[in-house]
Structure 1
Amino acid sequence: MRFDELYRLKGVLGTGAFSTVREGFHRNNQKLSYAVKCINRKKLTEEDEAALLDEVSILKEMEHSHIIRLYDFFEEPSTYYLVMERMRGGELFDRIVAKAYYNEKEARDTCKIVLEAVGYCHQNHVAHRDLKPENLLLLSEHDDSAVKIADFGFAKKVYKHNCLTTQCGTPGYVAPEILEGTPYDERADMWSVGVILYILLGGYPPFIESTQRDLFRKIRKGEYEFHEEYWGTVSTEAKDLISSLLTVDCSTRLTAHQALENGWILGDDAKLASKDLGPNLKKLANFNAKRKLRAAVSAVIAMNKLNFLSESFVKPGGKMTKDES
């Protein structure tokens, strides 16, 4: 059946360079709302089209409470339609910085959710390859625990160790083995989880430099520190977990399953709730505001089709990509 025989579209929820996201309803159920991504096929290159079909194939297999759902897919002559779960709560980090109070238990609970979802991906032989705050969304405006991983545009099946070669991801979150150009696998995701956890607890990224060259140099060497001002009162177990994820040697990096067994993840709720992250929350709000500004600027650049490539393959929107060999 054709898309418009089963669904009807309403208002626009968002726009991109090649697509528009609109509110959609199934004709047999007018109460349930979906986010329908409408992609103009004429604007896609063969490479873009192949990547999209890869993403759809992977998302069709994903059925986890903390991974965004793809409910339906239509391939029509001029348009691809992806009928997605509608995420009404916005980005997780926006919700966190709106809090009046923030503690280690909340950070731990978020980290546990991410680890469970990433672990599910890896159990199903899928590497996400672009884990970052922008891709942690909330299903509801009222439930902080309904966190879901989104954007599987760089996701790839992993059939054996070190079978991936594409240099892709987002600067600041990308694993050192990807920057080195060596074959890698799903363990690269665990580095990104380590970066996210560092930000959730400290309020700022572990790797910050004024130039991309210096940023990538620090990532390749794994050079970061726990500054006393922001980390002095954070649990030692939490810092140990981060250190076990931000390890350059991916063979010693924790898997998602191992990380879920970490003492901090399994720690006492009351004890973690008593550890206030108030000062770090202010730092996180500042980081989040800068991140949103950069995203807005990147979106404007992308919409104006100013395609520029740096020596490290960074495309508009801040992502890196180089063809899989």
Structure 2
Amino acid sequence: MLLKEIKDIYHKELGGIYLKEEIDSFFYSCIEHYLNLERFILAIQPGITLTKEEEQPLFEVLSELKLEKPLQYILGTAHFMDLELQVDENVLIPRPETEELVQWILDDCQMEEQFKSDAERSRSVISTMLNDHSLRILDIGTGSGCIAIALAKHLPNVTVFALDVSEGALNVARKNAASNGVDITFLHEDILDIELELDFDIIVSNPPYVRELEKEGIQKNVKDFEPKTALFVPDEAPLLFYRAIIDFAEKHLSEKGKLYFEINQYLGEETKALFHARNFSEIELRKDMFGNDRKLKANVPSRGL
């Protein structure tokens, strides 16, 4: 069968479910993944023909896409920043909003090195941590490991820890750390019930934050396929995990440590108020690329004498 005919079948079969641009993206991702063909192949070889063996995986993917299964789970891979990661139904699919959160941390860690004078640099919290080769980072609810791995890749002289309650997620994250050449200490722990004898300079988390009442507005490919324990929180306790992480941070963040979070876009001010109530300082709420409250940073409260 002609490759362009298969493309037409994708559009015919999926047109009532996805936008045209999404279908194009699916098709080109599939031919690159299974056939190692570039997306412009039809422009230069419009008559390219596939064998039955070559066609088979494309039609198998089509069947799963009709069920609205995410393409990343079908292919088993996802991209995050400059990383290629394995993903399956044990982990959330990494998203651009989370890339922004990681970039915020990277920018904070690098900015003062680039712009501060030598005198200012000597007083810089983050620069001090970097220069003494002891910056410790903890990623809570690591999932695929995307945050932890990206930070380990891009920051020098750091020790990265990553925890998750799901052993299935940790298995995926371990494979991703190995394939991307980074050394991360993985911890099988529940942040709601944890005892840990370690301190950290940065704690970052993209915890569950979607309320049950918000399920109706969530796309089927997310609601039906991505791990529910990584997504949803009870309506009566939407900040459950943020409270638990604050409790943990008050004991385990270093004297001038920082917290970074991805948050529910509808609960930005409520989340910010929670940190104010617990005396965190320099609390900053940021919007994502779509103009939604999605990220928050806070400095550890003073512990006094």
Larger RCO, structures 1/2 (Cα 8 Å, 6+ apart): 1
Query: TM-score scaled by structure 1?
Result: 0.23
Give the helix-richer structure, 1 or 2. 2
Query: TM-score scaled by structure 2?
Result: 0.24
Higher CA-based Rg: 2
